[in-house]
Amino acid sequence: MVITTWVQAAGTVLLGLVGLWFAHNYRRQIRLKLAERQVESYVRLWALTAPAAPFRATPLEPGELKKLYDDMGKWYFDDGDGILTSSAARDLFIGVHGNLVCPVGEMKPAVLAAQLAALPPADAERRRGCAIIRQISLLRTQLKKDLAMHFGVGYYTDLQPDDRAFLVSCGLSPRRRPWRPRRLRPADRPRVDSCVCGACPS
């Protein structure tokens, strides 16, 4: 009787362990599949933000901003890729996406909105087209961090004050990786002009 009870208990424990193993293995397979989809999703977002490349020498035009707004919105909602983003990438995406077409006085961060609101409309739009290039670069930097491909600021040796304020407005700390600049940087690393409109404060 005792032996039978012990065998039943051992069988129950064994079945439980097997069930746990299958559950863990299933969750692991799901995570791997989601990771693969996230890479594919991020690559598509990277490609569609090509007009805002950091090596661009002129601000984005209003027509380009509107097209980016539409393309990024389709990527996030229509194609369902937004569900695969990290919380940090999502917050940056929402900040950038809104800034593409909103009235200049409603842009993030508030300090940038105030500066743009004080400029003539044409100058404000030119400055917006410049700031958006840097903000999209911040988004791409977060994408690389999510994929464990990045450990420092991507293209700019130092962030502009409104870029730091933009990160804060999106709930991110500019004092943490990947925003905190490296102490040691390669001497031959190419420099990118962080202002292509001539109106950004240094």
Q: Would residue 23 count as lying in a domain?
A: no
Model confidence, pTM: 0.79
Alpha carbon distance 11, 14 (integer Å): 5
Q: Would residue 25 count as lying in a domain?
A: no
Domain with 122 in it = 37-169
Which pLDDT score, from 0 to 100, does residue 129 have? Answer: 97
Alpha carbon distance 94, 99 (integer Å): 9
Residue 24 carries which side chain, given as an amino acid letter?
H
CB 59 within 8 A of CB 133: yes
In total, how many domains does the chain have? 1
CB 53 within 8 A of CB 140: no
Of residues 90, 91, 49, the one with CA closest to residue 67: 49
Which pLDDT score, from 0 to 100, does residue 8 have? Answer: 61
What sign for the dihedral angle of Cα 140, 145, 147, 148?
positive
Q: Would residue 129 count as lying in a domain?
A: yes
Q: Would residue 195 count as lying in a domain?
A: no
Q: Would residue 109 count as lying in a domain?
A: yes
* Spans of the chain below 70 pLDDT: 1-35, 149-157, 181-193, 202
Of residues 76, 5, 6, 1, the one with CA closest to residue 44: 76
Q: Would residue 101 count as lying in a domain?
A: yes
Which pLDDT score, from 0 to 100, does residue 170 have? Answer: 95
Q: Would residue 80 count as lying in a domain?
A: yes
Q: Would residue 7 count as lying in a domain?
A: no
Burial 111-141 (b: 16+ CB within 10 A, else e): bbbebbeeeeeeebbbbbbbbbbbbbbbbbb
Q: Compute φ and ψ for 156, nearest 5 degrees.
A: -100, 130
| Residue pointed to by tokens 């035009």 | 61
